Structure 1
Amino acid sequence: RKTNTDESLIFTFEIPEDYHKSSSAPFIRITPIYLKENIWSDNDSENYRFNFAVETFAKRISDTYQISELIIKRLKEINGICYS
């Protein structure tokens, strides 16, 4: 973002009305798709699979693509699996 802001630019579920304008971009929305208990369990801890969608909003498609690529890179660094 070219201007600094103290507000978080990562939203969940609803995007505030103030951000429905392109002048508020870029920002990100994260929404869960589902949380599912995995098959494996050792009776001491359970293994869960977290699936969520990360949506990027920007003024230009090229900006959205760059933001998405950075998010994918960070998720892969922590062994996340990304689907398109």
Structure 2
Amino acid sequence: MMLSREGPDDNASTLWIPSPSCGGDPEVTVEEGAVTVTLTLVATSGQQASCAEYVEVELNAPLAERAVIDGVTGRELEVEGRHS
């Protein structure tokens, strides 16, 4: 899964998370730490067969260089537009 962030620099504090809910009611739990941001997405299935839906997440602080972790799998997620 690849996340998008709003803003071209490390001061961005808005993330867009792809959700498979397709019209369901997705909810994201956010845990922010000094070096990581853990996102856990819970989504029910909607009525649409296929769609591309995103959930907006506002962080309390800019993402900067913090790693973004999938709270379900424990894997680090790629953030689109981040300079390596």
Greater RCO, 1 or 2 (C-alpha within 8 Å, sep 6+): 2
Larger Rg computed on CA atoms: 1
Scaled by the length of structure 2, what TM-score is found?
0.26
Higher strand share: 2
Scaled by the length of structure 1, what TM-score is found?
0.26
